[in-house]
Structure 1
Amino acid sequence: MNRLEEIFSFSESYPLIFTQVNFWIFFAIIYFIFAIVYKKISLRNSYLFFISLFFYYKTSGLFVGILLFSTLVDFIIGKKIYKTEHQKKRYFLVTLSVCINLLVLCYFKYAYFFTDSFNLLFNTNHEVVNWLAKWGNSFSDQNYFTVDKIILPVGISFYTFQTISYSVDIYRRKLKPLDSILDFGFYVSFFPQLVAGPIVRAESFVPQISKPTILTKTDFDAGTYLILKGLIKKMLFADFIAMHFLDRVFDAPEMYSGFANFMAMIGYSLQIYGDFSGYTDIAIGLALLMGFQLPVNFNSPYKATNAGDFWKRWHMSLSTWLRDYLYIPLGGNRKGTVGSYIILGIMLLILLIAFKSNLLLIGLILMVSIGIFIAGYYKSSIKNHINTNINLMLTMLIGGLWHGASWKFVIWGGLNGLGIVVYKYWRKISPYEQKNQWYVRFWKIGITFLFITFTRIYFRGESMEHISKWYFQVWNHFDLKTALEIITHYQAVFWVMLIGYISHWLPKTTKNFIENLYAKSPVLIKIMLGAMIGMICYQAFSSDFQPFIYFQF
């Protein structure tokens, strides 16, 4: 009875996540009821909507109210966009939807970032005040809400992008609005992917809502296989190496050699892949068990041969969302727009103010900017290159900011954007671009992997000071003499890392063979395999709570 109370009551310290036994008890109960109601489409959708709300409550408590607010606003606006034929009114409504969603996201996610940036630029000392909490406290003599702190609701970046895609797809006449707010709420809050993706586009998921559930053996086999694979990625390839090596090094990089710091970054690339890819594998698997298709979010990203290829393989639902709802509206690879130049102007202004004491750097920025735009004015081919690269860089900078409310994420996004731009021109003169020999491909993959890994320190580092300590240790105290000692001391971690990377770099044909072998195996073998994987994962499991990394976004 205590276990059931624990499952169905809210605990801020222990939210309901895929790696906990409590979640699988929860899923078994709701799946049993789902098996009873799934034939009635409206009842199925309503049931999954309320279950999803409960799941989000278990993850974020009263922040479920923000999810309900977004659901109600975009349901109403979506209806009005569809019914309106007047183009200007349609444009106003879709703009209203986007602005409301982004304002909610900015309030909860970027209040500290904007305030700190403003204070830094203008030497002020403003503090963040939770006006929403202050307004809530005004209804009672008791101060139920903390007014001096804004807490980030889990998954707000994911469901905000989903509700925006719904309004925009209706505006573009790709989609008809749903008739029932319960059906729309189900789309927004579907619990497997609610808190950490993948980002589900309205045009791909909404049509599934009105279709009957058809669960085939193929779907069941694929779903259970993805769940088991996701648990291995998360609990072994991510949590185990983090707890036993990575966290220790990143907590005090100056206490370890440059070699240990370097290997920690190599390990972090595996950790963040195993963590995020593991979550989405489980999410897609759970959805398949209920008859729904979620988009693939990863395609062996460390097989990428350049930075652009990497972003076509990593977090694909975000990359394609940014392409279709930001990069192309900004002008894509065809032209610049007013929006492009406004955003670029704001960023240049921030740079100029931030480095106002460095006159040489300010002069250099201004000279380069003026020179580029003069060249573009007189030659259209140069102008096209400039516009394309501006749009690409802005998309990557904003994509970096989506990941976290800090300048280090903006720098991380900018470095990845720069990597894509540099490769665009390098491939035109590279003598290796058209060669397909294994050693050429090995070289390309290796360089790309190291670039992605080294730029990720801005993603992992807690502050710019912390990041600089890591770089200092790697460049100045690499100390190969202690390498063998470190490898020996942490040999279990390095074996897991080696197995993780080998499994990632296996040929696709080998991976398909393993999945097909699992699908063709008898039910008893599947049960035994599931039990064995469960035992291995939970043997490596720590009692310390290990949330998914992308929960913070």
Structure 2
Amino acid sequence: MLQIDFNKLADLFQYHANAPMLFNSGLFLWLFLGFSCLYVILRPHHRAKVIFVTLFSLYFYYKSSGWYFLLLVLATVVDYVLGWFIYDAEQRFYKRVWMIINLVLNLGLLAYFKYTNFFYEAWTQWTHEPFNPLPIFLPVGVSFYTFQSLSYTIDIYRGEIKPVKSILDYAFFVSFFPQLVAGPIVRAKDFIPQLYRPVVVTPEQFGRAIFLIGSGMFKKVIISDYISINFVDRIFDNPTLYSGLENLFGVYGYALQIYCDFSGYSDMAIGIALLLGFQYPINFDSPYQSRNVTEFWRRWHISLSSWLRDYLYISLGGNRKGTFRTYFNLFMTMVLGGLWHGAAWRFILWGMLHGGALVVHRFFRSYFSVGNFPLPRLLAQVLTFHFVCFCWIFFRADSMEIAREVLTQIATQFKPEIFTEFVLGYQNVLLVMVLGYFLHFIPRSVELQAEGLVTRLPLVGKLAWLLGVIILMTQVQSAEVQPFIYFQF
């Protein structure tokens, strides 16, 4: 007779700091299957659907950050109330006061969890005192849902939207689990109107969702995790143990790893949302095909770059206050974007490098008329890709010292004579990298054809495609499910 250990079963559904629930984990697949069955029943009933999905989303966040899901609940209540205060204020002065309070609360909360130890360490270095980090836990996804919530209150302040009538509908928007912990950053004016429409998932939308979920899992587990565990992590753990050639390919590997990791999560999030009847725009558009840094930021993490443009760059003055101020606003937007990614000087430097590159590109684009001194497309792509890779070194390295070691090894210990030995020693990793970059650089039309092929398959064919990806995942993934890189931001 089958014996069920209810203690182990209960433990499975509790939060474990070393095992947060991920889209590519077995537990989520089973939970989502059960969730979907109930969702199909409840989706015609608006209020029941909203309550059910919100409760599931809060449980999903509990499995990612433990009792810090209460922080999400608190932030939801505060921003919902302040949204109405901003809207109801008749005088501009009071609207501004409530908006400032909202900014202080949201950004203050974010600053406490992400930057307290950063500023504390800087203070101890200045005063020459010992640094003992404070035991502050960074809740997963706090940066994402803070920015998402801020877009709601800022749009109310600007008069672009009206506040939602029900706090449950607002809670649904803030906590919706597909994008909750790592984006895309969804705006209320794009998402909330969909909440009141009948939930309809056409066969084409279902097919596209299955394609996105499968391709997202493929990018995350089969490409990103494999080259991370078997190559990239080893290089960045101790660069001096490896030649400059290995360090260089470690940088190329990380560029592919972070793209496949983050775009893979976005694909899964967009696909899962589409299965539930909600449509998101794409978050990545083959960014390494860019011919300049400006184009790169139109293709990379589109929801964040557009958020920074609309709510930070424009709020700083955008391009409305003269050339110098435009350059300053561009630069500061990217510096603050770097700081958003992490509380470390290397992230600030990463933002400064991208900000400086955006300023330089804008200068030459305005100084030379369009069409003058154009670079060949391939050369422009190669230069832009290598600049982005150079910046990734500071993003990935655990310290500035590690970044310096990587650059030193590449510059002084390149050793091209070991190329054949290098290829033979890392042939599996290099094959995966070649596959990853090949898939990235194929024309968009080919990608759309592949998506259309899966979409046109019968239901059995779609499920076979997804099952095939899952089986392949189980063959190549490590013993432990690897968290997504952007969980730490």
Structures share a fold, TM > 0.5?
yes
TM-score interval, smaller chain: over 0.9
Q: Would you say 1:387 and 2:373 are equivalent positions?
A: no
Q: Secondary structure at the match of 1:456?
A: helix
Q: Would you say 1:469 and 2:405 are equivalent positions?
A: yes
Residue number in structure 2 paired with 1:415: 353
Structure 1 residue 496 displacement after superposition: 0.8
**8 Å contact from structure 1 (residues 432, 440) kept in 2:** no
Residue 463 of structure 2, aligned match among 527, 532, 536: 527
Structure 1 residue 538 displacement after superposition: 1.5
Q: Deviations over 1:109-136 (max 9, x none)?
A: 10011111223345455755xxxxxxxx
Structure 1 residue 295 displacement after superposition: 3.1
Structure 1 residue 334 displacement after superposition: 1.5
Tell me the TM-score normalized by structure 2: 0.96
Residue number in structure 1 paired with 2:24: 19
**8 Å contact from structure 2 (residues 21, 60) kept in 1:** yes
Residue 93 of structure 1, aligned match among 68, 73, 98: 98
Any residues of structure 2 matched to 1:528-547 within 5 Å, and which?
A: 528-547=464-483
Q: Which protein has the larger Cα radius of gyration, Structure 1 or Structure 2?
A: 1
In the alignment, residue 202 of structure 1 is paired with which amino acid?
A
In 2, the alpha carbon distance for the partners of 1:253 and 1:430 equals 41
In the alignment, residue 361 of structure 2 is paired with which amino acid?
Y
Closer/same/farther in 2, CA of residues 496 and 70 from structure 1, 3 Å limit: same
Q: Would you say 1:249 and 2:235 are equivalent positions?
A: yes
Closer/same/farther in 2, CA of residues 69 and 274 from structure 1, 3 Å limit: same
Residue number in structure 2 paired with 1:141: none
Q: Deviations over 1:230-253 (max 9, x none)?
A: 001100120011111111111111
Any residues of structure 2 matched to 1:218-237 within 5 Å, and which?
A: 218-237=204-223
Residue number in structure 2 paired with 1:172: 158
In 2, the alpha carbon distance for the partners of 1:270 and 1:321 equals 24
In 2, the alpha carbon distance for the partners of 1:241 and 1:459 equals 17
Residue number in structure 2 paired with 1:480: 416
**8 Å contact from structure 1 (residues 7, 26) kept in 2:** no
Closer/same/farther in 2, CA of residues 264 and 157 from structure 1, 3 Å limit: same
Q: Secondary structure at the match of 1:312?
A: helix
Residue number in structure 2 paired with 1:518: 454
Structure 1 residue 426 displacement after superposition: 3.3
Residue number in structure 1 paired with 2:278: 292
Residue 153 of structure 1, aligned match among 115, 139, 162: 139
Q: Secondary structure at the match of 2:300?
A: coil
State which drifts further: 525-534 or 166-175: 525-534
Q: CA RMSD in A?
A: 1.7
Structure 1 residue 4 displacement after superposition: 5.0
Q: Would you say 1:35 and 2:21 are equivalent positions?
A: no
In 2, the alpha carbon distance for the partners of 1:155 and 1:328 equals 25
Q: Would you say 1:504 and 2:423 are equivalent positions?
A: no
Q: Would you say 1:75 and 2:80 are equivalent positions?
A: yes
Structure 1 residue 423 displacement after superposition: 1.8
Residue 172 of structure 2, aligned match among 186, 201, 222: 186
In 1, the alpha carbon distance for the partners of 2:271 and 2:21 equals 17
In 1, the alpha carbon distance for the partners of 2:103 and 2:245 equals 46
Structure 1 residue 91 displacement after superposition: 0.9
Any residues of structure 2 matched to 1:42-121 within 5 Å, and which?
A: 42-121=47-126
Q: Deviations over 1:430-456 (max 9, x none)?
A: 7995688xx911111110000000111
Residue 15 of structure 2, aligned match among 10, 17, 20: 10
Residue number in structure 1 paired with 2:267: 281
Residue 311 of structure 1, aligned match among 278, 285, 297: 297
**8 Å contact from structure 1 (residues 41, 211) kept in 2:** no
In the alignment, residue 72 of structure 1 is paired with which amino acid?
V
Any residues of structure 2 matched to 1:112-151 within 5 Å, and which?
A: 112-124=117-129, 148-151=134-137
**8 Å contact from structure 1 (residues 260, 483) kept in 2:** no
Closer/same/farther in 2, CA of residues 67 and 329 from structure 1, 3 Å limit: same
Q: Secondary structure at the match of 2:315?
A: coil
In 2, the alpha carbon distance for the partners of 1:28 and 1:16 equals 15
In 2, the alpha carbon distance for the partners of 1:430 and 1:449 equals 23
Runs of 4+ in 1 over 3 A off after TM superposition: 1-7, 121-128, 426-436
Q: Deviations over 1:249-279 (max 9, x none)?
A: 1111100000000001001000000000000
Q: Would you say 1:398 and 2:403 are equivalent positions?
A: no
Runs of 5+ unmatched residues, structure 2: none
In 1, the alpha carbon distance for the partners of 2:422 and 2:367 equals 41
State which drifts further: 521-530 or 266-275: 521-530
Percent identical pairs in the alignment equals 42
Structure 1 residue 472 displacement after superposition: 0.8
Closer/same/farther in 2, CA of residues 429 and 167 from structure 1, 3 Å limit: closer
In the alignment, residue 183 of structure 2 is paired with which amino acid?
G
Closer/same/farther in 2, CA of residues 246 and 532 from structure 1, 3 Å limit: same
In the alignment, residue 81 of structure 1 is paired with which amino acid?
I
In the alignment, residue 51 of structure 2 is paired with which amino acid?
S
Residue number in structure 2 paired with 1:143: none
In 1, the alpha carbon distance for the partners of 2:413 and 2:369 equals 35
Q: Deviations over 1:167-197 (max 9, x none)?
A: 1111111111112211111111100110000
**8 Å contact from structure 1 (residues 7, 23) kept in 2:** no
In 2, the alpha carbon distance for the partners of 1:433 and 1:298 equals 27
**8 Å contact from structure 1 (residues 7, 16) kept in 2:** no
Tell me the TM-score normalized by structure 1: 0.85
In 1, the alpha carbon distance for the partners of 2:17 and 2:132 equals 26
In 2, the alpha carbon distance for the partners of 1:126 and 1:440 equals 51
Q: How many residues align?
A: 484
In 2, the alpha carbon distance for the partners of 1:428 and 1:188 equals 40
**8 Å contact from structure 2 (residues 214, 465) kept in 1:** no
